[in-house]
Amino acid sequence: MLGRQLLREAFGKCIEAVQPRPIVRDAIKISADHIKIGDTHFARISATKIVLVAFGKASILMADGAKDRLSAPLLQKTLIIAPEQQQNQKATSSTLSGVFFGAKNNLPDENSVSATRHVISEIRDADSEHTIFLFLISGGGSALLCSPKPPVTLQEKLTTIKRMQAAGATIQELNIVRQKMSQVKGGRLLESIRKGTAVSLIISDVIGNPIELIASGPTVVKKVSSDDNAGKIAEIIDKLKIELPKSVLTLLNSQDPIATPATSNSLNSAFIISSNSSALHAATQFFSSQSSKFDVQIVTSSLQGNATEIGCQFADFIAGDQELPVSGSLPLALLFGGETTVKLPENPGKGGRNQEMVLACLDRLKSKQPKYKFAFLSAGTDGQDGPTDAAGAVITNEDLLVASPTSSESLTSSDSYNFWRTFNGGKCHVVTGPSGTNVMDVQILVLDRL
C-alpha cells in the first residue's frame, strides 16, 4: 500500500545502509604483522603507532568503527572534532579521548578554530617515521576543521559562506572557495606531517564523489595551476553576484595554487568508503522485497539544481504533464539522490532544501489533477535539513485534499519548516533526529494506478 509510512521506512533503510561504524570497521584489517586500511597495506612492527583523527558529522561513529579494530598499544592517540549537537553521542564513545565539539548550525565557529589548532599540534607531536595517521572524514568537516588563512578572519569567512549559500552556491563551489581561504583545506593539513604516513577513509557528501572536494579535501592534494584556480573562483563569484569582504577578495585574487606540497613521505592515500549510491541501493532492496512487486529504478545519484524548480518538476511527473525520467511498469518506485540549492529571499523564514522541494511539489499540485496514486519524499540523510530539526517531508494524494492556503506564501518566504510543522497536523514532516552520517539527500517517488 502506498503511503507516507512506506516511504519513511524506505528512507530509514537508506540511513541504516550508510551507518559509519560498520563501514569503517570493515575497511580496517589488523593482524600480528600486517595492517590494511582501505587498499593500503602496512607492515606492522613493534614501533608502529596509529593516530586516529576524525572530523565531520560522522566522526564519532567512524571513530567507534575504527576503535572496534584498534586498541593500545597500536592505537596511540584519538582526536575527534564533532558537531556541537552530537554531544550526547560522546557517552557511546567514552573510551575515546580528545573529543572536541563545534560548528553550531554547521558553520565554523571559535570552537572549530580552537579544536583545529589543538589537532594540528597533536599531529606534529606524534609525527614519526613509524606513525600512521588515520583520517576519518565525512560531510560537515569543512565547518569543523577550520583555520582561516590570514588576512581573512573567522567572521569574514563566515560572511562569505553565508552570502554564497544564500545566493544558491553548490557544495562544490563552496568548497573551492573554502580551500582558498584555509590553512588546512585543499591538502594543507598534510603539511603537519613530515615523517609519518597518512591514509584517509572518506564518506562522500558531494555529487560525483570528487575526493578532493569532500570536506574541502584537507588530506587530498590536487595540483591546480594559479591561473586555473583564479579562473574558477572568478567564475563562481561572478555567477553568484555577491559582495565579499575586501580581505577575502584580496586572498581569492592572489596567485598561489589551491593545493600545497604533500608531506615528505609519498605514502599518502585516500579512499571513499560510502556515498549516496549506497543509500539508494538500500532503498532498491527495500522496495524489491515488498509484496506489491515494485518496478524499482535508480534515476540518478547526482540530482542538483534549484530545490523549488525540481519540486515543481516532480509535481509535473505526478500530474502526467511531463514524461517520466525512465520508463517502467506500475507500481513504480523512482529513486533519486544528490543535493539541491535554495536561493533565499531577503528576510527568509526557517526551512531547508528538502522541505522546500516537497512544499513546491504540493503547491504546484494544488492546481493540477494527479495522473497517479503517489507518494513523494525528500529528506537529508544527516537528519538535519537546513538549520532545523527535520530531515525533510513526505506527501501523498490525501494531502492534496487538505487546505493549504499558506503554501505559496511559505514557499516564497523560504519558511517550509513552519509550514510542515502545522500542515495536516505535522503528519508530513520527516523528523529522524541526527543520523550521525551524511551522504546528501534522497528523493523517493512512488507511482501506481489511481
pLDDT confidence of residue 1? 66
Taking phi over 0 as left and psi of -120 to 50 as alpha, with beta for the rest, 293 belongs to left
3.40.1480.10, 3.30.1520.10, 3.40.630.10, 3.60.15.10: which CATH number matches 4-8+276-448? 3.40.1480.10
Residue at grid coordinates 537508506:
14
pLDDT confidence of residue 231? 81
pLDDT confidence of residue 33? 96
Question: Does residue 138 contact residue 56 with C-beta atoms inside 8 Å?
Answer: yes
The structure's pTM equals 0.91
Domain parsing of the chain, residue ranges: 4-8+276-448, 20-274
Exposed, middle or buried by CB within 10 Å (0-12, 13-18, 19+), for 208? middle
Exposed, middle or buried by CB within 10 Å (0-12, 13-18, 19+), for 72? exposed
Residue 225: other Cβ atoms inside 10 A: 11
All three cell numbers of 150: 590570514
pLDDT confidence of residue 128? 96
Closest by CA position to 443, among listed 347, 327, 361: 361
pLDDT confidence of residue 90? 55
All three cell numbers of 264: 615528505
Residue 45: other Cβ atoms inside 10 A: 8
> Which residues in the chain come in under a pLDDT of 70?
1, 89-97, 223-229, 256-267
Task: Write the CATH number of the domain with boundaries 20-274.
Answer: 3.40.50.10180
pLDDT confidence of residue 89? 64
Question: Does residue 353 contact residue 306 with C-beta atoms inside 8 Å?
Answer: no
What's the sign of the alpha-carbon dihedral 178, 182, 184, 188? Answer: positive
Tell me whether strands 75-83 and 49-55 are parallel, antiparallel or unpaired.
Answer: parallel
Residues 6+ apart with CB under 8 A from 340: 303, 304, 305, 306, 307, 310, 353, 357, 441
Tell me whether strands 392-396 and 373-380 are parallel, antiparallel or unpaired.
Answer: antiparallel
pLDDT confidence of residue 115? 96
Tell me whether strands 40-43 and 99-102 are parallel, antiparallel or unpaired.
Answer: unpaired
